[in-house]
Structure formats: structure tokens, C-alpha cells
Structure 1
Amino acid sequence: MAISRISTLAWCRKLSKKDIITAIVGLSLIFFSFSFIFNSPKKTALITLNSDYVPLTLLRNAKQRGAFCLDGSLPGYHFQNGFGSGSDKWVLHIEGGGWCDSIETCLLRKATSLGSSEYMDRQVQFSGILSNDPAQNPDFFNWNKVKIRYCDGSSFTGHPNNELHNGTSLFFRGQLIWEAVMDELLAKGMSNAIQALLSGCSAGGLATMIHCDDFRAKLPKIAIVKCLADASFFLDEKDINGRRTMQLFYKNVVNLHGAAKSLSTDCVAKMEPSLCFFPQHIVGSINTPLFLVNPAYDFWQIQHVLIPVASDLPEEWQRCRLNIQNCNSHQLDILQGFRSSLLNALSEFKKTTEWGMFINSCFIHCQTWIKTWHGPNSPKVTNKTIAETVGDWYFNKELAKRVDCPFPCNPSCFNMDFTQA
């Protein structure tokens, strides 16, 4: 990352206590959730290295549409043509990377690839659900594949009327970016798709849920269209000190970006708009078939929803929140309670036959775009990988609702260890 953790901490010291709490929540996801793979000594076990490099494409119509990243640069995506039987089928994956909830955190973010295409890699390798290797991606390897880059800080929900014209030069155009990307892909041939899957990881998975029905509406009525959200079922839960840390954070995000206009109208009519950033409050309004991939011990949620740094000032949880193997029996009891909260919040998934889920007992975050997706060493539940379970669901082979037993029961898990970072 262009900004070191040391400089980030120095910057945080200048903020108020409230800003520190919310900034930690938002910024830590940037520095942990998507740098952990590249900083990990075990990265070769997670990244697919035999995929072709796929170039970055900047949106041609972005300037005309006013669809800009936070810094005013053009948004982008990576596109790989399908072939053979997959030439009229599409799989899209929205990149994740957290959110910014204040002018300060958005300004910090715009100096990274999560706020500016100026910092984006010009070529990336497709892995997991975007891999072109049938051994690693048995059902979607030959489909048209798109990786949508994320540079707006609001899960593609921002509106320009909420921009503050005070010299900060920030653009809140997430909704416009979503619409411009869809229009360009439709023009590339997606308008003729007979099958399509919209997917996303973390904040990208939340964007997938928010825009799932709109994605369905843009494609031919005869097409089979479904959505997949990975590591994005963020819980509306209190932290270990009884604070609603995520509620405060999401309220700031929604208010800053003007995101309410992009959220479920059914949900917004019933409750405070920022609560409609929580999946458990919006999934009941989604009509398109939806699949959820989520670890029961999602390390990001444990580190930022359940045990945010500001709630662990004595650092009693420090070793546990960095490596689940270090948790004592009392701490594991609390983590098991958090797992129960997740399962209780999935009532819509349990009762809707068209929906599916893969809930494993791993200490990880995002599993569909890396080799945890499918392979001999991938995590399994009832002897099936994530890819196999998603395939069962997408192609209606069988009811695909797989829930793992509690930690530490699953030896196939890849559990992250941040004590080595």
C-alpha cells in the first residue's frame, strides 16, 4: 500500500475519539482485508498464478456520465472474453475494500487504488471464480469474466448532490459508476446473455446485494440471472463493550455519500436509512436468487464489528483477534455466540428455496476470488468446496445450504494468522 500503517496511526492521533473509532473501522479493512493475501508468507497457497494477465479498461463513457472515482479519475474494470459454450454467459465480480465515512478518511483513500484509478494495477491475474482453468473453476471458467474495480468508498451507492464543495475535490459518484459500468458491459454483449452471475467480496458483496435486482432488470427476461455475496453479511451487532460501533460507522457512510437513494425502498420506509446497509435488514427485499458465502468466524467482522481496537484498550483480545488459535475458552464462547448471531440472521436464506449458502468455520475473509474457491486443498463442508456448492445452487442440481459445525471442527479450513504480519 502507498500509505504505511505508521503514517496512518500518526494521522489518527490528530482526530477526535469518535473519528478514531470510525476511522479504524473503515481504514483497517483497506489495510488488512485486501493486503493480507499479498503480505502473507502463505500467499502462494491462496493466489492462482497460472491465469492470464487481464488489462485494466477505463470507462469510455465515464466523463460524459459524470461517473468518477473519489479523486475524479475514471473508474475501470478488467474484462476477459468468454469462449465456446461460455461465449454468451457472464460472471461479474465486484472488488471489495471497505468504505470511507468522513472527509478525512475519503481524502486518505483517494491516494490509493480504492479511490483512484491512477493507483490501480494496469494488469491483474484472474483467480477463483474468475479463473480460466477448469480444474480451479469448473462451472464458469469459459464465461465472459469481469472484475469491477471499486473506487467510490460507498459500495456503489454515492450521489453527487452530497458532495461538499469546500475545496476537497471529492466525488461521491458510486451510483453513477454502477450505471456506467453496466451500460458499457451491456454494449459489449452482456445484453445478449443467457446466463449471468453477479458476485462480489466484502464491500463488493454488499454492493452485489444492493444492486442485485437492478442487475436482473438490465438483462434479458429469458436469461438465468443470480447473485453471489462473499464475506459481506455484516452483522448489526454490539461490540464486546455493548457499543453499536458498526451502526455509527454505517450512519456516517450513508450520510456522507447520500447513499439512502440507492438502498432498498422497502427497508428505508421502515427504518433509519443507514440500517439498510446491513444485509440482514435488506435481504427480505431482494427478489433475485441469492447465494451467500460467509465464514462463521469472518476475521474482519471479529476484528471490527465484535472486537474493534477502541473496545479492547487493555488489549485482552489482541492475541485472539489476530489468530483464532490463540483464543482462550471464554473468548471462544463469545465467538461462538457471534456465530449463532450470524446463523439467526440468516432466516431468509433458510426459508427461501431459491437461495443458497456456504457457511464454513474458518478464520478468513473473502473466499471466492482466490484458491479457496476450489481445489484439493480448498475448505469443504459436507465434502464439497465453495465452487461445487455454488454450482449445485446456480444450476439447480440440489438444495445448496451448507452450514459447518463450530470451530475448530473443520480441518480443511485456511485460518489467517496476523501475528506473523
Structure 2
Amino acid sequence: MRSKLICCVVLAFAFFRTYCGQNQSKLVLLQNPQNAKCLDGTAPGYYFSQGYGDGQNKFLLYMEGGFYCNGQTEQEILENCYQRSFTDVGSSSKWNQTYMDNGIFSPLQRYNPLFYNWNRIFIKYCDGTYYQSSRDPVIYKNKTLNFRGSDNFKEIVEDISQRYELKNSSIVVLAGGSAGGQGSYFWSQYLRNYLPSTIKMVASPDCGFNVQLNPALQDKNPVWVDFITNRKREIIQPQGCPYLHDDINLYKCFLTEYIINQINIPVFFISSLYDQFFIDTYLQIDCINSKNALVGCTDQQQAKIENMRQKLYGAISLIRPVKKNWGMWAVSCVLHVFSQGLAYNNQVYQVPEDSQITPSLALKSFIEAVEQDKPLDNFYFIDELAYPYNVRCNGLQSLSQQ
């Protein structure tokens, strides 16, 4: 009996190792890139997982997040980027050879009901400029820093196309989380123009919908934009921002509500109206506990957080009547990025409450409607409740109690 049990355990372990090995995305670094470089000069790249079955001709391109090299002066920008160049979001030198994640990258259908068998591509972020920069290198503290985010994205897309026949696909979804979510807004129209018109395309940013919360930390000032573009602002994506040469309003080119007219494709975005990153970084409020609950906030802090929700809610609501081919899912609970974790298909996160509409289900329904040429004007899932009244995900109860 004991020997049979040991045998079963060994076989199960072998199966698990084989299964995981077959379903891990493999690292692809650009070979002999023309201009593309990470901050430290190493080659940029992505992780690739082969599609199969009815997903073998469909592509998910997901842009990694990781904030940016911020600064109000060139010195601050350089110092920030210099420190970043020693990390995984500034260098490819220590990237793992394989990648496997939950959420939108899971190979398991029960966790990832739409994309589990698609060609899944995780684009690594190593330029620190929201994939927007293109300029000559700068030597700082005896280290050469490269600002090639725009070149990185273009050459990665071309590499994917050459290796895996991206231009022969039936549908392409450009998604991303956090800074990658903003990147997927910025680059969606470029990718649409790059692909043949016969290919359907959707953009799906996750927690990349931004509003002005803290100008000192968030607004892309003229110094920052001119530095990363070498004063050639026209390279900023999406092209055609009406504020590009207006120094006072330049920051609007990096906020979704002001660039929607430059994005003429179906978009389905995922958001938290109480985005944890916004609260921590932009509002600089620290009253979120380990269960993602707002506990111990002062009245003043709570008022600032609620003002943030109202700004996000207002900006999102204004888009609905203007962009009939846009959909949205926004919940009144504290989190940052749903698509790269178990929250993506977790019944804890539903909009409206008790509707069973998770981020994964909402996005799946939207993309299937695009594939079937159905109307897109009714995919609007925005939480009308303020915190903490969506009790499923307010963090004030354990998941086992919910």
C-alpha cells in the first residue's frame, strides 16, 4: 500500500512538472535590435506561450507595468532612471527564462476562460518611460543610460510578427496593467494601424485609467517629455494629442479622458475606483491594511480618497456617451491590477454586487461581441456603491466569511 502511494505521488509530481513546463511562457530577447534597448543597454524582450485549438490564431499582447522614472528636473529624472537601471524594470540581464502567472496568463481555463489557449505574449517593461521615449543615450555616473521605450515597443511588435505571424491572426488584444495599462492606451492605435484591417483588435487596459491627483508626482511636465523625446514631442503616442505643444496642458496627453479621440478601436478597460497605487503613491495616504481594507484613515484622508473616487467615476462616466465601442468594469474596492492575479476571475470582485460579473467574465463577453460583430454599447459595469458597501471585496471580512 505504501509503495502504491509513493508511486502515485511520484507520478503526480512528474505530471505537474511536465504540465507546468509545457505551459510556461518562454523568454524571447530581441536579436540584433536596431534601436531598442533597456535602460542599461541590454536587449528588451517578451515571454511567449503558444496558442492551440480555437485560440491558435488569436493573440494577447500584455504590456508589463512598473511606474516610471519620474522627476521635475533632468537631474531627478536621470537619478531615478539610474537607480532603476539596476533592476528588472531597467535591465533584462536577470530575467528568468520562463514566466508563468495566474489571471490573464493562466493556462487553466477555469481561471482564464478566454485567453487560456491563445498565443499569450508578456511584453517586458524596461525603459521607465511608459514605452514612450526615443533619444540619444546619456552618460550619468559613468553609466550609459538608454531611453528607447518607443523603439522597444515597435521592434518587439515587428519581432512577434516575423516569428509568429501576427499579421495572419484573426484577433489581437493589446492589454496591460498599471503603467502597462497606460501603455496599452497609448499604443493601441499604432498597433491598429500596423495590423491589416481584416484583423479585429481590442485594447484592454487594467488600472491604467488615470486622472490628475498629484501634479508633482503624476503630471508629465514639459521637462520630462522633452528629455525622453529629445524635444521631438511628435513621437508621443497616441499621435495627434491636441495639447502636445501646450506646456500648461501637456499633461493631458497622458490622461485617458483627454486622448479618447485619438483611439478609434474597441476598448474595454478594468479599473478600481479605490486604486491602491493611487492612494499610496499619488495621495500618499497609508491606511490600507493587509486585507485591502481602509482601516484607521483620518476623516481628512477618507475625504481625499472619496474625492479620488468621484474624480475617477466622473471621468469614466463621461466616456460612455462619447465612445459607443468602449466598455468598462470598475469596482468600488481597494486593489491595483486585476488581470495578473487571482482577482481576475474571483467571485469576490463583482460589478454590480452579486451579479457574478467578474473582470474576466466582463472582458470575455466584450471580446466575444467584437468577434461576432455585435453592438458594444451595453458593456458598462461601474460600481454605483461607495466604499465599503460592496461588501464582497471591502476587505473588512475574511474571504472564508464571504
TM-score (normalised: structure 1) = 0.77
Give the direction of change, closer, same or farther, for the CA distance of 1:210–1:336 in structure 2 (3 Å limit). same
Q: Give 1:210's match in structure 2, choosing from 174, 186, 200.
A: 186
Residue in structure 2 matching 1:409, options 389, 393, 398: 389
The letter for the 1-side match of 2:209 is: F
Deviations 1:191-214 (A, max 9, x none): 101111000011111111110011
Matched, 1:109 2:84: yes
Q: Which amino acid aligns with 2:338?
A: Q
1:144 paired residue number:
119
Q: Is 1:59 aligned to residue 33 of structure 2? A: no
Deviations 1:313-357 (A, max 9, x none): xxxx54359851322444333322211111221212443221011
- In 2, distance between residues paired with 1:378 and 1:362? 8
- Pairwise CA distance, 1:375: 3.5
Partner of 2:198: 222
How large is the RMSD of aligned CA atoms in angstroms? 2.5
Q: CA deviation at 1:119?
A: 2.4
Distance 1:51 1:95, change over 3 A: farther
The separation in 2 between residues aligned to 1:342 and 1:321, in whole angstroms, is 22
Following TM superposition, by how much is the alpha carbon of 1:278 offset from its aligned partner in structure 2, in angstroms?
Answer: 2.0
Please say if 1:393 is aligned against 2:349: no
CA distance in 1, matches of 2:307, 2:107: 39
Deviation at 1:165, TM superposition (A): 4.4
- Which of the numbers 242, 247, 267 marks the counterpart of 1:290? 267
Q: Is the 8 A contact 2:274 2:333 kept in 1?
A: yes
Return the alpha-carbon distance in structure 1 between the equivalents of residues 394 and 134 of structure 2: 38
Post-superposition offset of 1:168: 3.2
| 2:65 counterpart (96, 100, 104) | 96
Please name the residue that 2:39 is paired with: 70
Instruction: Say which is worse superposed, 204-213 or 337-346, in terms of deviation.
Output: 337-346
SS of aligned partner of 2:335: coil
Q: Paired residue for 1:14?
A: none
Q: Which residue of 1 aligns with 2:287?
A: 319
SS at match of 1:120: coil
Note the C-alpha offset of 1:303. Answer: 1.7
Query: Separation in 1 of the partners of 2:29 and 2:144?
Result: 20
Worse-matched range after superposition: 145-154 or 348-357 = 348-357
Instruction: Give, in angstroms, the shift of residue 248 of structure 1.
Output: 5.0
Out of 389-398 and 193-202, give the one that drifted further. 389-398
How far the C-alpha of 1:53 sits from its partner, in A, is: 2.5
- Classify 1:234/1:379 alpha carbon distance in 2 versus 1 (closer, same or farther; 3 Å): same
Deviation string, structure 1 residues 149-183 (Cα, Å, up to 9, x no partner): 0000011111124x334543000111110111000
**C-alpha distance in 2, partners of 1:412/1:266?**
40
Aligned to 1:395, the other structure's residue is in SS state helix
**Distance of 2:335 and 2:395 partners within structure 1:** 6
Distance (whole Å) between structure 2 residues aligned to residue 81 and residue 414 of structure 1: 37
Q: Do 1:364 and 1:416's aligned partners in 2 also have CA atoms closer than 8 Å?
A: no
Checking the alignment, whether the CA contact within 8 Å between 1:132 and 1:142 is kept in structure 2 is yes
Counterpart contact for 1:52–1:126, Cα < 8 Å: no
Cross-structure match for 1:368 = 339
- Answer yes or no: is the 8 Å Cα contact 1:364–1:414 preserved in 2: no
Match of 2:6?
none
| 1:54-106 deviation digits (Å, cap 9, x = unpaired) | 221111242xx121100000111100110011111001111100101311111
Superposed, 1:128-143 pairs within 5 Å as 128-143=103-118
SS at match of 1:266: coil
The 1-side partners of 2:288 and 2:347 are apart by 29
Q: Distance in 1 between matches of 2:125 and 2:65?
A: 6
Q: State whether residues 371 and 378 of structure 1, in contact with CA within 8 Å, keep that contact through their aligned partners in structure 2.
A: no
Q: Which moved more, 1:98-107 or 1:321-330?
A: 321-330
Tell me the residue number matched to 2:102.
127
- Equivalent residue for 2:236, pick from 259, 262, 269: 262
Q: 1:137 to 1:319 in 2, by over 3 A?
A: closer
2:151 and 2:351 map into 1 onto residues whose CA distance is 38
Aligned partners of 1:130 and 1:414: how far apart in 2? Answer: 26
Q: Would you say 1:180 and 2:180 are equivalent positions?
A: no
Change (3 A) 1:100 1:270: closer
Matched, 1:164 2:132: no
* Contact 1:379 1:414 survives alignment (8 Å): no
Report whether the alignment pairs 1:277 with 2:254: yes
Question: Which amino acid in structure 2 is aligned with residue 113 of structure 1?
Answer: D
Query: Shift in Å at residue 276 of structure 1?
Result: 1.1
TM-fit CA distance, 1:251: 4.5
Contact 2:289 2:295 in 1 (8 A): no
State the 1:269 CA deviation.
4.6
* Other-structure match for 1:343: 313
State the 1:378 CA deviation: 4.4
Contact 2:62 2:121 in 1 (8 A): yes
| Structure holding more helix per residue | 1
SS of aligned partner of 2:113: coil
**Cα drift, residue 287 of structure 1:** 0.7
The structure-2 alpha-carbon separation of the partners of 1:117 and 1:147, relative to structure 1 and needing over 3 Å to count, comes to same
C-alpha distance in 2 between matches for 1:103 and 1:130: 33
- Aligned partner letter, 2:27: L
Opposite residue 401 of structure 1, the aligned amino acid is Y
Work out which of the residue numbers 53, 59, 69 in structure 2 matches 1:84. 53
Partners of 1:251 and 1:121 lie apart in 2 by: 36
Seq. identity, % = 25
Q: Return the letter of the residue paired with 1:82.
A: G
Q: 1:29 maps to which residue? A: none
In the alignment, residue 105 of structure 2 is paired with which amino acid?
A: L
Aligned pair count? Answer: 352
- CA distance in 2 between counterparts of 1:93 and 1:58 reads 16
Provide structure 1 residue ranges, at least 5 long, that are not aligned to the other structure: 1-48, 309-316
